[in-house]
Structure 1
Amino acid sequence: MELRQLRYFVALAETGNFHRAAERLHISQPPLTVAIRKLEAELGTPLFERGARGVTLTAAAEAALPIARATLAGGEQFCAAVREGAKGERGRLRIGFVGSATFELLPRLIPAFRTAYPLVELVLEEASSVEIARSLEAHDLDVGLVRLPLLETATVDTRVIDRDELHLAVSTASPLGGLGRIELAAVAGEPFVLQSRISVLHAIALMACHAAGFTPRIAQEATQLSAVLSLVRSGLGVALVPSRATAAMPQGVRLIPLAQRVPIEMGVALPRDRPTLPANNFAGLADTDRLS
């Protein structure tokens, strides 16, 4: 049995007339008549009672008509799903992101992507940039929002989608809290709270301090940026964090701009081999968002 036969059956059932059914189907009447007879022969039972004014459904056909309609609808849904999947408009997208992406980047990109691709299921996973790159290589993630540059060589493609700069995070209880701008060298004697060594921000902070002429005294390390800010609030030290962290600044912590700008970048990363269509769509949207 073919979907074409079911389509003919439903058209004839709804019009009750071979001629009108053929017109609806955009075919001539003889092929319709032959198709219905073949369907009845295949099923081993009549589907229609023929009369001078047209046809009426048999009891068997009455029972089967709702299922025939549902089957045709399912076939149309299948075709639509295939077309949408072929364009990356349906499916599942696994996104890895670094913690600082939650300040501004994710809140911009996720609603825009959901609006553009509502049939794509999103699965989000927070990790470090290095971990995201490894997962992309293994195809355990489809796309990543990472801090650049990556600390390890990876077979992933990256492009910059957001630029920011480091600010100094200090406790408002600190004498530094009232400053409007600060030389990084001025806090050479302060204890520092840094993100863990697997973080790109750890390396960038160290390089910034070395460029300012000192090696920071690391009092504490933390994996998440939120934990770094919490430790700063607790008075354990100062920290170098993205200026966009202002969006999630806890009470009792203040960001101070640096006199010498320290730029940082965020990028979108894709596996170099076989990126998925939804991942390409997400990366394209991220590029568009950057340019808008």
Structure 2
Amino acid sequence: MDLRQLRYFATLAETLNFHRAAERLHISQPPLTVAIRRLEEELGTRLFDRESRGVRLTDAGRAALPAARATLEQAALFRSIAQQGQQGERGLISVGFVGSAINAALPRILPAFRARYPEVDLRLEEMTSVSICAALAARQLDVGLVRLPLMDPGDFEVAVIERDRLVVALPANHALAGDHELALADLAGEPLVLHGAVSVLRSMVLLACRQAGFTPRIAQEATQVQTILSLVQSGLGIALVPSAMAGTVPEGVRLMPLTDPIHVEMGVAARRDAGGLARNFVATACAAGDT
């Protein structure tokens, strides 16, 4: 028994005439007659009584018809879902993101993606850019929001979705907080709260300090930018953070621009062989970007 036989059976049950059923199915009558006879032989019972002007359903045929229709509807649903999955319109997508994406990138991207692809479930995980790249390579993630440039670009396609700059975060009562802007060299000797994990921002801050002529005095380390700001709030040091964090700066912390700005970028990364889900997320992220 196969779906073709069930479709033939349901169509004949609706028309009660082999000729009209064959026309509706766009086949000739003999294959339809053979298919129905073989179905009846397989079931061991007649589904139709043949009459001079057509056919009529037997008790077995009437009983089986609802199940046949339900099976055909489920098969059509299965086909539709599979096609939606292939096109990236249904399924589960795993997205890794760096902490600073919470402030601007994710609030832009997620509503747009959910509105366009309501049948897609999202699994979000906060990670460092290095961890995201490793998870992408291991196929544990489908797509990632990462800080650029990537330390290990791997076999990924990357698009810039956000351009920003680093600013100085310091306690509002700090001696340097009275100025309008700061030179990076002004931070020499100040205790610095730095990203503890291997990260793009950590590398950029250390390189910028060296280029400004000093080696920073690292007082504390933390993985997430929000934690770094909380440590600054506690008076444990100053920090360099993306200006996009301005909306979530805790009370008692001031953000100040640098005279020699350090530009940073955020990108969306996916494997080159990514499927429809990841491609759709990347397209949505690019369309919602602020670049």
Q: TM-score, normalised by structure 1?
A: 0.88
By how many angstroms is 1:152 displaced? 4.1
Mapping 1:172-251, distance limit 5 Å: 172-251=172-251
CA deviations on 1:219-277 (whole Å, 9 max, x unpaired) are 111011111011011111111000111132222222112122110011222235x3333
By how many angstroms is 1:117 displaced? 2.9
In structure 2, distance between residues paired with 1:47 and 1:173: 89
Report the CA distance shift for 1:230/1:291 in structure 2 as closer, same or farther (over 3 A): closer
In structure 2, distance between residues paired with 1:38 and 1:179: 90
Partner of 2:99: 99
Report the CA distance shift for 1:56/1:231 in structure 2 as closer, same or farther (over 3 A): same
CA deviations on 1:77-134 (whole Å, 9 max, x unpaired) are 2222332233333333221111111111112222222233333332222111111111
Mapping 1:14-163, distance limit 5 Å: 14-51=14-51, 54-152=54-152, 154-163=154-163
By how many angstroms is 1:155 displaced? 4.0
CA RMSD of the aligned region, Å?
A: 2.4
By how many angstroms is 1:28 displaced? 4.4
CA deviations on 1:151-187 (whole Å, 9 max, x unpaired) are 3464434332221100111222334445432222223
Q: TM-score, normalised by structure 2?
A: 0.89
Aligned pair count reads 291
In structure 2, distance between residues paired with 1:220 and 1:34: 81
One-letter code aligned to 2:144 = G
In structure 2, distance between residues paired with 1:197 and 1:5: 62
Contact 2:195 2:222 in 1 (8 A): yes
Contact 2:184 2:259 in 1 (8 A): yes
CA deviations on 1:193-216 (whole Å, 9 max, x unpaired) are 111141211111122222333222
Aligned partner of residue 244 in structure 1, secondary structure: helix
Mapping 1:275-290, distance limit 5 Å: 275-290=274-289
In structure 1, distance between residues paired with 2:14 and 2:79: 23
In structure 2, distance between residues paired with 1:12 and 1:116: 40
By how many angstroms is 1:52 displaced? 5.8
In structure 1, distance between residues paired with 2:220 and 2:210: 18
* Deviation larger for 16-25 or 205-214: 16-25
CA deviations on 1:43-79 (whole Å, 9 max, x unpaired) are 1111123446654332222222222112111221222
Report the CA distance shift for 1:100/1:32 in structure 2 as closer, same or farther (over 3 A): same
**Percent identity for Structure 1 against Structure 2:** 56
In structure 1, distance between residues paired with 2:171 and 2:61: 78
